Amino acid sequence: MLNQPLHAALMSLPGVDASRGIEVLQCSSANATGAIIYLVSARTHRRVDAVVKTPRNPSAHHSIAAEWDNVTQLHRDTNFGQLLPAPLRRFDLDGATFYAYGGIAGNTMFARYRNRLLSSRDRMRASFGRQALDAALRLHASHTRAVSGAVLAQDLRDTLLMLRGLVSDIPAALDGHAAKAIENLANSGIELPVGRIHGDFSPYNLMTEGRFRSGCSGIIDWEHSEPDRPQHLDIFRFISGCELMGRRTFEGGAALLRMSSPDNPVANKLWLPWLRSMAPVHAAAATQPAVYGALWMHFFVVAAYREQRRHSNPADVSPSTYFRGLCELAAKSAQPSHPR
C-alpha cells in the first residue's frame, strides 16, 4: 500500500487524470541494484499514464539516474525521440529519488511472446525482428560514423581486458577464440557503424501494439545507452534476447551457437536488412563466416562483461549466461556461422 505523500505525488504527475482517482501497480526489476517500479493509470481508462522508478537500494541509484539523464537528453532528438518515454518529473521523497516517465502504448515483445496462443516461436521471433528493424535504423542512423575492422578489434580487445578485471580465471581456450576474432576483425577490411546505441535492445524493452504493426511504439530502459559504441552490438543483443526468451534453463554454448546460426529467423529479418542499410558497401564482407563469427565473439565478450559488472560479486560466474556459455563454446572449439 502506498503512503500518503507518495500517493499524492503520483496523482499530481503531468498527464495523469486523477479526477476519479488512480490505480497503481507496483513491480520491480530482477537485479539486486535495480528499481521498484510503479505503473500509474487513471481510473477513467486502461492505459498506463506514467511509469515511476526508484532505486531498490537508495545508495545504488547510478543506473536509474543514468537512464533519466539519457532519456532527458535523447527525448529531444527529432529523429528518434518519439521512441523514448517522455521524462515527466524527478522528485525526492522520504530519502529516496523517484523518476517519472510517460507511458508508452502497447506491450513489450516479451509480454506478447509470453501470452501467445497459436503463433509458433520462430514465426513470432521473425515478426519481432521485422518490427525492431525500423526502431534500430531510426536510432542508429541519427548518430553514426563508419570505423574499420581494426577499431572493432580494439574495442573487443579492450572489453576482454575489462572482463579479466572481473573474472581472473578466463580459460585459455576462450582466450584463443577471442584472439582469433581480434585478428579476423583487424584483417577484415570492413567498415561498420559506430555511434549511439540503446545498450539493452531486446524483446524485453521494445514495445509494440500488435503483430501486424510494421514498427515499434517505443523503447524503454535506457540506462545502458552509450553515445559511441559499435552499433551491431544492439542488433546482436536483440537476436540473442529472442533466442533466450522463454527458455527455462540456459544451455551454454549451444544457445550461443543457435543465436549465430544461419537458420536463425531473427538474424535474417533484422541483421541482414540493417547491415544492407547501414553499411551497404561492406555488407557482403561482414557476412563472411570468419568475420561474422568474430562480430559475434565481440558481442559475447561485451555481454559477458556487462553481465559480470552488474553482479554484486563479480567473481561469481554461476549466474552468468554469456560467460559460462563462452567457456562452453570455447571448450567445444565451435565457430559461429553466418546467415545467408
Residues 271-306 pLDDT 10s: 999 999 999 999 999 999 999 999 999 999 999 999
Element (H, E) at 182: helix 172-186
Angstrom distance (rounded) from CA 153 to CA 201: 22
Angstrom distance (rounded) from CA 295 to CA 279: 14
Quick count: other Cβ atoms within 10 Å of Cβ 329?
26
Average pLDDT over residues 43-61: 84
Q: Which of 19-33, 120-134, 273-287 has the lowest mean pLDDT?
A: 19-33
Angstrom distance (rounded) from CA 245 to CA 113: 8
Average pLDDT over residues 240-269: 83
Q: Which three cell numbers stand for residue 192?
A: 561498420
Q: Which three cell numbers stand for residue 175?
A: 582466450
Angstrom distance (rounded) from CA 104 to CA 106: 7
pLDDT at position 334, please?
47
> 3-state DSSP call for residue 196?
strand
pLDDT band at 1 (very low <50, low <70, confident <90, very high): low
Residue percentage of the chain with pLDDT more than 70: 93
Alpha helices in 287-335 (DSSP H): 289-310, 321-331
> Which string of DSSP letters, residue by residue, matches 13-59?
STT---TT-EEEEEEE-SSTT-EEEEEEEETTSSS--EEEEEESSTT
Does the structure show a pLDDT above 60 at 32?
no
Quick count: other Cβ atoms within 10 Å of Cβ 18?
17
Domains with residue ranges and CATH for the chain? 4-102 (3.30.200.20), 107-331 (3.90.1200)
Answer yes or no: are the C-beta atoms of 110 and 205 closer than 8 Å. no
Does the structure show a pLDDT above 80 at 214?
no
More confident residue, 321 or 303: 303
Average pLDDT over residues 116-128: 85
Q: Which three cell numbers stand for residue 279?
A: 553499411
pLDDT at position 64, please?
87
